[in-house]
Amino acid sequence: MGCIIGKFSHLLVFMVLSISVWNCGKIEKGRFFNDQAYHFQTLRALNDARSDGAETGEVLEAVRNIKEGDPQSWFSAWENAGNKVLERGDRIQDRMSRGQAYLRAHNYLRTAEFFLDPEDEKRSSAFDRSVEVFHKGLDTLGVKYEKIKVPYGEYQLNAIYYPGPSGADHKPLIVLVGGFDSTLEELYFVLVRAAYERGFSVLTYEGPGQGSVLRKQNLGFTPEWEKPTKAVLDTFLASHKKPSKSVLVGMSLGGYFAPRAAAYDKRFDGVVAYDVLFDFGEVAENSVPGIILWLEKKNYDNVIEFLVKIKSSLSPSFSWGVKNGRWTMKTGTSSETLKAFRAYTLANSAEKITQDVLILAGTEDHFIPVKQVEDFKSKLTNAKSVTSILYDRGSGGAEHCQLGAQALWHADFFDWMKRFENK
């Protein structure tokens, strides 16, 4: 590396200066933290309040004790919040209140492990506790659900089926999958609770690169998402009645997963990209300085790693993205991760989608450029119908996956479902 740096020392000065520096100044009005990842993950935890997964005061107390950019501080604050709520829950006599406390404790423990390095031993134990407490919450509340083990080659995928109330068998089945950092359990708060209240059954699942499949079996993502989805649906239908209609909903990176799977599996009658994710490679390239892409073309991998290390030391968001990318994609270098991300594009599969399509997007999504809505729509040449809904700042839904505005996107989604159901 020394000879490369010596040869290109005049470029290195420019490259280092071109890397955006984490803002450590005054926190912008309306934000929990300056760093986008820390702010967004706090919003993510708070977002579950509508489904009994958080309490505003508990969240505000947790973040008050966090040193921004310090994963251990983040872990300690959220673990402490989860432990406190869990201890209170064990003392509560009212069954409903006790079950709700367990669900909140689960969410705080899930949030606690988020920024830890994948090899940090605390991450695995916190995850295990969060899953245990989640099911304790569902059981206490009397929520009906069925755990499903899905054979997947030498591996095993996991699904949870939540049967709806009386009459749900006559309504479309909602199938829900998460994204880049999702867990199977959090999908309950995302949509299951709201769907049940409207009479729907929901099948949730985790595939390669997600939740316990990643943590317990070390299985990374695959761009051929139709394969794990087929395995899940095959296993489910082997013991359950085929629904009259089914809709596949993908959250975050699931905005790629769900359309990709629907393109090759016509058992789905509708597909929802929540939010849009047409090209993950573009998302990844937007997160790095342009000089990194130039260096990649020249095969200067060592220089790239040097710059990534500098950037990571300055930006908690970037540091987390690098580590999570390598963990979930099973890559060894930043260049390998970038190459892996580029395989996740709908450019060559969108035209195979023949179902009804709903696309949601936030105009200020910090991950996915809003132009990907039109990129996606332009390729949906054979879709039965295409509906796209954009949320701006004024609506409150401009964030990635409309976090902080769950009621907003739920209203549009279930209105779309009503039209879909009556077709």
Residues 361 and 419 in one domain: yes
Structural element, H or E, at residue 305? helix 301-314
What average pLDDT does this structure show over 19-24? 39
Mean pLDDT on 365-391: 96
- Asked if residue 180 and residue 131 are part of one domain, the reply reads no
Instruction: Encode pLDDT of 107-124 as tens digits.
Output: 999 999 999 999 999 999
Distance between CA 12 and CA 310 in Å, rounded?
A: 12
Is residue 26's pLDDT more than 50? no
Q: Distance between CA 391 and CA 224 in Å, rounded?
A: 29
Task: Please tell me the predicted confidence (pLDDT) of residue 11.
Answer: 44
Mean pLDDT of the region 15-34: 54
CATH number at residue 110: 1.20.1440.110
190 has a pLDDT exceeding 90? yes
pLDDT at 6: 47
* Contact (CB, 8 A) for 54 and 104: yes
Residue 326 has pLDDT above 60, yes or no: yes
Q: Do 259 and 352 have their domain in common? A: yes
First to last CA, the chain: 62
Phi-psi sector, 335: left (phi>0), alpha (psi -120 to 50), beta:
alpha
Residue 341: pLDDT over 70: yes
Q: Is residue 5 predicted with pLDDT exceeding 70?
A: no
Instruction: Check whether residue 129 and residue 256 sit in a common domain.
Output: no
> Tokens 């406190």 belong to which residue?
84
Asked which of 88, 123, 142 is the last residue of a domain, the reply is 142
Within-domain flag for 48? yes
Instruction: Report yes or no on 30 lying in a domain.
Output: no
Each residue of 238-292: pLDDT tens digit? 999 999 999 999 999 999 999 999 999 999 999 999 999 999 999 888 877 777 7
Number of folded domains that form the chain: 2
pLDDT for the residue 9: 44
For residue 352, tell me if it sits in a domain. yes
Tens digit of each residue's pLDDT (9 = 90 or more) over 61-75? 999 999 998 999 999
Distance CA 276, CA 244 (A): 26
Give the pLDDT confidence of 48-99 residue by residue, as tens digits.
999 999 999 999 999 999 999 899 999 999 999 999 999 999 999 999 999 9
> Rounded distance, CA 236 to CA 116, Å?
34
Pair 160, 131 in one domain: no
Residues 95 and 184 in one domain: no
241 & 115 share domain: no
Distance of CA 130 to CAs 7, 123, 124, 159, 344, Å? 51, 11, 10, 17, 30
* pLDDT over threshold 90, residue 307: no
**Residue 291 forms part of a structural domain:** no
| 415 domain-assigned | yes
pLDDT at residue number 259 = 98
What is the structure's pLDDT at 133?
A: 98
Residue 24 has pLDDT above 70, yes or no: no
Parent domain of 110: 36-142
Contact yes or no for 275/368 (Cβ under 8 A): yes
pTM: 0.90
3-state secondary structure of 350: helix
Judge if 137 and 54 occupy the same domain: yes
pLDDT for position 18:
43
Domain end among 142, 172, 205: 142
Res. 30 pLDDT band, cuts 50 70 90: low
Question: Across residues 144-168, what is the average pLDDT?
Answer: 97
User: Does 137 fall in a domain?
Assistant: yes
Question: Residue 235 sits in a domain of what CATH number?
Answer: 3.40.50.1820
pLDDT-based confidence at residue 7 (cuts at 50, 70, 90): very low
Average pLDDT, the chain: 91
Q: 195 or 422: whose pLDDT is higher?
A: 195
Provide the phi-psi class of 178: left if phi over 0, else alpha when psi is between -120 and 50, else beta.
beta
pLDDT, average across residues 113-141:
95
Average pLDDT over residues 384-396: 96
Counting Cα atoms < 13 Å in the Cβ hemisphere of 234 gives 11
Residues 197 and 51 reside in one and the same domain: no
Question: Ramachandran region of residue 207, left (φ > 0), alpha (ψ -120 to 50) or beta?
Answer: beta
Whether 306 has a pLDDT exceeding 90, the answer reads no
Contact 365, 399 (CB under 8 A): yes
The secondary structure of residue 241, as a DSSP letter, is P
Q: Does 3 score more than 80 pLDDT?
A: no
Output b/e per residue, 12-27; b: 16+ Cβ within 10 A: beebeeebeebeeeee
Please, are residues 11 and 300 in contact by the beta-carbon 8 Å criterion? no
Q: Is residue 309 part of a domain?
A: no
Q: How far is CA 417 from the centre of its chain?
A: 22
Phi, psi of 168 (to 5 degrees): -65, -25
User: What residue type is assigned to position 232 of the chain?
Assistant: V
- Nearest-angstrom CA–CA distance, 273 and 344: 14
Amino acid type, 190: V
CA distance 422 to 67: 51
* pLDDT higher than threshold 90 for residue 23: no
- pLDDT score of 28: 58
Phi/psi at 8 (5° precision): -115, 30
- Is residue 226 a contact partner of residue 199, using CB atoms and an 8 Å limit? no
Where does the pLDDT of residue 321 fall: very low under 50, low under 70, confident under 90, or very high at 90 and above? Answer: confident
How large a percentage of the chain has pLDDT more than 70?
93
Q: Per-residue DSSP letters for 100-133?
A: HHHHHHHHHHHHHTTTS-TT-HHHHHHHHHHHHH
> Are residues 116 and 196 located together in one domain of the fold?
no
Report d(CA 162, CA 195) in Å as an integer.
Answer: 10
Domain end marker among 91, 115, 142? 142
Least Cα distance to 337 among 296, 373, 298 occurs for 296
* Residue 310 within a domain: no
Reference 276, options 257, 291, 289; nearest CA is: 257
Higher pLDDT, 333 or 26: 333
* Residue 310 CA to its chain's centroid (Å): 26
* Judgement on whether residues 133 and 246 belong to the same structural domain of the protein: no
Strands (E) in 210-269, as ranges, are: 246-251
Whether residue 72 sits in one domain with residue 49: yes
Count the neighbouring beta carbons within 10 Å of the beta carbon of residue 170: 11
Burial status of residue 218 (CB atoms within 10 A of its CB: 0-12, 13-18, 19 or more): exposed
